[in-house]
């Protein structure tokens, strides 16, 4: 006999959706308190909800400037939301379980498997231990370097505070920054466009946070096992290729643009090109004015944002592995091959179908939201498409329209950020009916394609 409460038990995707939603609501309540504002004013709840969603979904789109509007309390709330959102609330819950020496249950392992996008539960707790250790270590080292560098400009106390905040923000690919209080609202890292230390550490954090914890683990254990998994090879090669190609394209497009790189030295142009190639991969910080870029550059950044980071990371987008699978499918079709082969391994049909499904859902969502916002917002289609793609891929870059969004616009962008952070497939599994095993198959048919 089935117990009456059995039907109310939640699947792992549903728990993830509700968990993130609960954290966002709690964050919104805290950010709407007068104490969260530097001026002691109460932030409208919708704006607080938008900011909490952006922080928890590690996006970085903001309606008010973080550095000037929020108090230390408000900024601390945002920093905590970023850390929870980046690592995942289940990872943070596991950290407390470790501290209290509690056993991780089977149900919790299933949720962790879903949160980390793993194919099985084998070694999931060991992976979570590594995630926590790697994350805190990387953030600590980066915070120390940032603090030393910025203490020369901002003073010791402010330099340390900025160092900790930005190490957490950039590693988790959130894009929130406090430099509005230094170089003007919404200025991000434009004052440090040519600074090698700031650029190197920031890009290092973004890349390390974006390649995923599985790859980080593989890299750190490479000396022992002397090999990398197929997943790590695909992620590293795709990440390197996109960064280099993106930097070259942006360097050529923006070299003479007086509103962006035109006034920088050659070394400054190179740093700015590299940074703007890295940051669309879901980071959200910028060292040049995004709105001042040429339209070709802006559209190219939309493509980079759509691809995003890698599975099991703090970033969003369709992911580098999905993009690589699609490119592999195109090459295989052109060559008349039946299989997609990467590094001498054949990909299964289920991987290909999942890549196509994820990409199409992402495209449909972005197109739908863009169409709706083009009727509710008084901005060009390119600016709206840029904003929507940035929200879905949890990037946080903007062409300056976030603060001008209508109520409908704020709600839709918030939903898009939420869907992008959890992943379209996770959201679909959580909201859709429970899958049932097919008892029969239809005969195969043929249609003409192309």
The reported pLDDT for the residue numbered 222 is: 82
Asked if residue 322 is part of any domain, the answer here is: yes
Q: What is the pLDDT of residues 322-363, one digit of tens each?
A: 999 999 999 988 888 888 888 888 988 888 888 898 899 999
CA 197 centroid distance within chain: 23
**pTM for the predicted model, two decimal places:** 0.87
pLDDT band at residue 320 under the 50/70/90 scheme: very high
Domain containing 122: what range?
10-429
Tokens of 179: 């430099």
Q: How confident is the model at residue 316 (pLDDT cuts 50, 70, 90)?
A: confident
Q: Rounded to an integer, what distance in angstroms lies between the CA atom of residue 446 and that of residue 421?
A: 37
Band the pLDDT of 123: cuts 50, 70, 90: low
Q: Is residue 331 part of a domain?
A: yes
pLDDT digits (tens, 9 = 90+) for 38-52: 999 999 999 999 999
Q: How confident is the model at residue 5 (pLDDT cuts 50, 70, 90)?
A: very low
Taking residues 306-326, report their average pLDDT: 87
Task: Write down the pLDDT at residue 98.
Answer: 53
Structure-derived torsion over alpha carbons of residues 126, 81, 182, 293, reported in degrees to the nearest 10: 80
Query: For position 1, what pLDDT does the model report?
Result: 39
Q: Which residue has the tokens 């192309």?
A: 450
Q: Is the backbone of residue 280 left (phi > 0), alpha (psi -120 to 50) or beta?
A: alpha
Q: CA 292 to CA 402: how far, in whole Å?
A: 16
CA–CA gap between residue 135 and residue 325 (Å, rounded): 28
Q: Is the pLDDT of residue 244 over 90?
A: yes
Q: 13-34, pLDDT tens digit by residue?
A: 676 777 788 889 999 999 999 9
Any domain includes 105: yes
Establish if 4 belongs to a structural domain. no
- Residue 225 domain flag: yes
Per the CB < 8 A criterion, the answer to whether 81 and 55 are in contact is: yes
What pLDDT sits at residue 197? 94
Strands (E), 237-289: none
- Residue 299, number of CB atoms within 10 A of its CB: 13
Q: Into how many domains does the chain fold? A: 1
Flag whether 229 is in a domain: yes
What pLDDT is recorded for position 6? 45
- Does residue 184 register a pLDDT over 90? no
Residue 448 domain-assigned?
no
- Domain membership of residue 290 (yes or no) is yes
Computed on alpha carbons and rounded to an integer, the radius of gyration of the chain in Å comes to 22
pLDDT in tens, 47-80: 999 999 999 988 889 999 999 999 999 999 999 9
Whether residue 4 is predicted with pLDDT greater than 50 in this model: the reply is no
**What residues contact 117, with CB distance under 8 A and at least 6 apart?**
311, 312, 423
Kind plus residue range of the DSSP H or E element containing 346 = strand 345-346
Helix ranges (DSSP H) in 336-447: 349-376, 381-392, 407-422, 424-431
Q: How far is the C-alpha of 129 from the C-alpha of 77, rounded, in Å?
A: 24
């Amino acid at each position: 006999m089935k117990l009456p409460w059995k039907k109310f038990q939640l699947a792992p995707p549903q728990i993830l959706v509700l968990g993130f939603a609960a954290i966002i609501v709690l964050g919104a309540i805290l950010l709407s308190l007068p104490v969260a504002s530097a001026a002691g004013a109460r932030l409208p709840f919708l704006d607080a909800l938008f900011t909490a969603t952006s922080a928890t979904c590690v996006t970085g789109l903001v309606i008010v400037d973080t550095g000037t509007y929020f108090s230390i309390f408000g900024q601390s709330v945002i920093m905590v939301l970023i850390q929870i959102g980046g690592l995942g609330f289940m990872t943070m819950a596991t950290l407390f379980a470790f501290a209290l020496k509690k056993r991780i249950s089977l149900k919790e392992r299933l949720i962790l498997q879903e949160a980390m996008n793993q194919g099985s539960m084998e070694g999931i707790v060991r992976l979570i231990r590594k995630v926590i250790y790697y994350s805190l270590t990387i953030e600590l080292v980066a915070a120390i370097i940032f603090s030393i560098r910025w203490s020369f400009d901002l003073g010791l106390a402010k330099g340390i505070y900025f160092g900790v905040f930005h190490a957490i923000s950039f590693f988790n690919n959130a894009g929130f920054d406090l430099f509005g209080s230094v170089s003007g609202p919404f200025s991000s890292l434009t004052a440090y466009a040519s600074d090698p230390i700031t650029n190197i550490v920031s890009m290092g954090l973004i890349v390390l946070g974006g390649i995923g914890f599985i790859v980080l683990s593989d890299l750190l254990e490479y000396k022992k096992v002397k090999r990398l998994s197929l997943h790590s090879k695909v992620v590293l090669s795709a990440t390197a290729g996109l960064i280099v190609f993106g930097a070259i394209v942006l360097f050529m497009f923006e070299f003479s643009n007086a509103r962006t790189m035109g006034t920088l030295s050659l070394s400054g142009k190179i740093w700015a090109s590299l940074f703007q190639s890295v940051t669309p991969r879901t980071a959200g910080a910028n060292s040049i004015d995004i709105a001042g870029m040429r339209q070709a550059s802006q559209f190219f950044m939309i493509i980079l944002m759509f691809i995003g980071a890698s599975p099991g990371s703090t970033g969003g987008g369709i992911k580098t592995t999905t993009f690589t699978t699609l490119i592999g499918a195109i090459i295989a079709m052109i060559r008349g091959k039946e299989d997609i082969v990467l590094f001498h391994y054949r990909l299964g049909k289920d991987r290909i179908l999942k890549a196509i499904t994820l990409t199409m859902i992402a495209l449909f969502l972005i197109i739908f939201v863009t169409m709706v916002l083009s009727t509710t917002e008084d901005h060009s289609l390119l600016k709206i498409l840029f904003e929507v793609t940035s929200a879905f891929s949890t990037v946080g870059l903007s062409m300056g329209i976030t603060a001008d969004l209508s109520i409908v616009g704020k709600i839709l962008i918030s939903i898009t950020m939420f869907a992008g952070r959890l992943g379209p497939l996770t959201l679909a599994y959580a909201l859709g009916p429970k899958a049932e095993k097919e008892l029969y198959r239809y005969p195969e048919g043929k249609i003409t394609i192309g």
